[in-house]
Amino acid sequence: MSLSFATKSVQVNGNPYRILLQNDNGPCALLALANTLLLAPRYASEAGELTNLVQQSTVKLEDLIQILANIAIMSPGGANTDVNQLFQILPELHTGLNVNPIFNGSFEDGVEMAIFRLYNVGIVHGWIIDGDNDPIAREHVSKYSYESAQKLLLQSYDIQNGSYSPPNSQEIIEDANYIRAFLARSATQLTEYGLVHLKELLVEKSYAVLFRNDHFSTIYKYEGELFTLVTDLGYRSRSDIVWQSLKSVNGSADTFYTGNFIHATPVAKENLEQYDATGAGAAAGTTLDPTVNGGRVSNPFVGEGESGASAVHHTRQVEDDEALAKVLQAEEDDRAAANLQRSYQRKEKKKSATENEDGNSDGNVTKSRKRDKIKKSCIIM
């Protein structure tokens, strides 16, 4: 059975749209790119075929890739596009795109960035070292990307264990100490300084793709605040839930909003679809509450004319929605932190097994870089 995406009707500031929702691959780059093209007015003429496609209740992955390829070929930079390569790369946006954020707010350039340039869609991140409050740390950290930071941590480990002794050993160890501290403080791949940076970077009422926690989402700036598009399948029937605010690093201040950027409230007699921390799992008409019955509580919706407990139900639903947003963000943050820690531990355990032919301790990194060079020699644009 072919992979597919469910669709949902939403309104943004009174204008109707249809968006794509997550499947088992979660918030992938393909989804974020397509939804940005669907929502941003600047892409209305180019995205006509895509807009027609999402009028269906479900969209097949192969159909989505075909139409995105058509859009790319017809774009101003599409004349020089390698069509075969395009069809090889677009599926990677669904299964996992390897972008490499630099801790100064940019990305390492390559074929991944060329994809977004081809569609003239910006990609941003907030995994940035604070240079205002700690300029010394910024000097040591901001020049590194995530991948180069991992390589440096390996080198530092080998230096301290006597298996590697380059001329700049002290510089490597010092930079590694600052990087290790920075990664420990920013395991969610977002910092307070990064939030400020994103607000300054994005133009009012502009869309972009946000990279965070190894996931991608559509981000929008409205009245000076940041919002990410809610694409969880569990909210397919919740027409009032369109955005989630991005106000905090750990999700503690983030809440749901309508398409008109009003705090989301329950819709009368509406039933939630199945969802849990991954977007599916709870029975319809229930919500996730970490404090009751192992996380699942009955939460029926009531009509406007009902009395008695209706106000309690309404209030509880708002609280549950906000609690769910925090639970989902906290679990995502925990997963990201655990993955980061496991990645670092695995790399530090590699000593002689990772040495290359020259006896260096970064053999795996060298091989990885060779593969990257092969990929990046085939830039689309």
Residues annotated catalytic, as ranges:
28, 215
Nearest to 264 by CA among 210, 319, 327, 312: 319
Query: How far, in Å, are 16, 62, 223 from residue 55 at the CA level?
Result: 12, 16, 30
243 near 219, Cβ under 8 Å?
no
281 near 313, Cβ under 8 Å?
no
273 near 281, Cβ under 8 Å?
no
Half-sphere exposure (Cβ direction) of 201: Cα atoms closer than 13 Å: 22
Residues 156 and 161: their CA atoms lie apart, in Å, by 9
287 near 299, Cβ under 8 Å?
yes
140 near 148, Cβ under 8 Å?
no
- First-to-last alpha carbon distance for the chain, in angstroms, is 34
